[in-house]
Chains A and B, each alone.
Chain A
Amino acid sequence: GENVEQHPSTLSVQEGDSAVIKCTYSDSASNYFPWYKQELGKGPQLIIDIRSNVGEKKDQRIAVTLNKTAKHFSLHITETQPEDSAVYFCAASKGSNYQLIWGAGTKLIIKP
């Protein structure tokens, strides 16, 4: 079955710098790759997603890139702000029921 690996487990960056979180997946049939942000004590929230027919997608300071050949996708956050501090999860899915396979999460710390 599908397996999603996420790195790093913890990432600490200076406010204003960029942060990059990477995920790899094993099943080449996966075609949907969302990223979620989870703040302390809350449920995860979708922040951006990408489908396999697109190589890159951007939404303000957040972008996701997908390399289907290498089977990896990355989350890029530019000009980081204190409110970006959270745990970020990547996921992958295939098929009509869109059951997600999750990465283990990255704790992002923004240093003032």
Chain B
Amino acid sequence: SQTIHQWPATLVQPVGSPLSLECTVEGTSNPNLYWYRQAAGRGLQLLFYSIGIDQISSEVPQNLSASRPQDRQFILSSKKLLLSDSGFYLCAGFLGARGGGYTFGSGTRLTVV
């Protein structure tokens, strides 16, 4: 089975500062990887997904970008954070039909002040 590692768990950043959130996958290779954002008490908004190294699709135009430099590494970045970037960021991986659905990381709570 796969495990998704995310860090940090909590982050407080000033407006205008850069951001880098890292997600790594353990226990599998070549998974589909996803970045989601969740506002407080709200649903899951898909931000980016990747089917392979350097293959990134963006779902929502925004202040964020994603990269996948290695098969098991997925990075969410921003050059200049906005207040509206605050939220709970989740990385997820999908192994395929036999993998039992998506596996989520434990999330990063980002507060932009």
Binding site for B on A (CB under 8 A): 34, 36, 41-46, 49, 89, 97-100, 102-105, 107
Contact = CB atoms under 8 A, between A and B. Distances in A.
Interface residues of B, number: 24
B94 A105 contact: no
B43 A42 contact: no
A98 B107 contact: no
A111 to B, nearest CB: 19
Contacts of B42: 104-105
Contacts, number: 49
Given A41-B107, A42-B107, A102-B43, A97 B102 contact: no
- Which secondary structure characterizes the binding site on chain B? strand
Nearest to B107: A43
B104 interface: yes
Interface string B16-45: 000000000000000010000000011110
Contacts of A42: 106-107
Nearest to B104: A43
The winner among B46, B49, B104, B109 for most chain A CB atoms within 10 A is B104
Interface in B69-92: 90, 92
Contacts of B100: 46, 49
Nearest to A97: B32
B8 interface: no
Interface of B: 4, 6, 32, 41-44, 46, 49, 51, 90, 92, 94, 96-97, 100-107, 109
A107 B46 CA distance: 20
A44 B105 CA distance: 8
Contact of B44 (A41, A97, A102, A107): A102
Contact of A98 (B32, B44, B103): B32
Contacts of B44: 44, 89, 102, 105
Contacts of B101: 34, 36, 46, 49
Contacts of A103: 43
Contact of B106 (A43, A102, A105): A43
